[in-house]
Amino acid sequence: MFKKLCLLVAVLSAIVLIATVPTYNSFAGKAKMIQRVQQNKSDALFGEEGTPLGEPTLTIIEDPKAFIGEPVDGVYKVDQSYLDANKIYPTQLKTVQFWIESIRLGAGVAGLLGVALGLWKPKPKAA
C-alpha cells in the first residue's frame, strides 16, 4: 500500500510539473512592459503624462481603462491613481516566475522521493 501511495505521489508530481508550463505561458502572454505614472488633475488638463513611478516592468494588468494612450517604444503607461481607486493590484511577471519555479522544485522533489520510495526494496532479513 505504501509503495502504491508513493508512486501515486510521483505521478501527481509529474502532472503538476506539466501543468506549470501552460500556466506560466498564459501569464506571460498577458504581461506587458508597463510604466506606472501618477497623474494629477492638472496633468490631464494640460495633456501631460504625469510623474513616472519606478522603472518599467513586465506586469499583468487586464483592465484596459488603466492604460493611458498608446505604447511608446513598447512601454505602456498606466495611471496609478486609477489602479488605487479601483483596487487593482497588478502582478509582476517575475512574481509569477518565482512561484512557478517554487512549485516545480517542490513537485520535482516530491516526485523523486515518490519514485525512490515506491521502487525501493528493503533487504531481506537474515534468518
The pTM of the full predicted model, rounded to 2 decimals, is 0.77
Q: Is 127 inside a domain boundary? A: no
Residue 127's pLDDT band (cuts 50, 70, 90): low
Cα–Cα distance measured from residue 39 to residue 126, given in angstroms and rounded to the nearest whole number? 80
In-domain check, residue 113? yes
pLDDT band at 39 (very low <50, low <70, confident <90, very high): confident
Of the ranges 13-27, 38-52, 66-80, the best mean pLDDT one: 13-27
The stretch 78-105 carries a mean pLDDT of 94
Query: What count of Cα atoms within 13 Å lies in the side-chain half-sphere of residue 58?
Result: 10
Q: Assess contact for 7 and 115: CB atoms under 8 A.
A: yes
Judge whether 103 lies within some domain.
yes
pLDDT tens, position by position, 46-72: 667 778 898 999 999 999 999 988 888
Q: How many domains are there within the chain?
A: 1
> Is residue 6 a part of any domain in this protein?
yes
Q: Does the structure show a pLDDT above 70 at 11?
A: yes
Q: pLDDT tens digits for 100-118? A: 999 999 999 999 998 888 8
Range of the domain at 26: 2-119
Q: What angle do the packed helices 2-30 and 93-119 form, to 10 degrees?
A: 160
Whether 124 is covered by a domain: the verdict is no
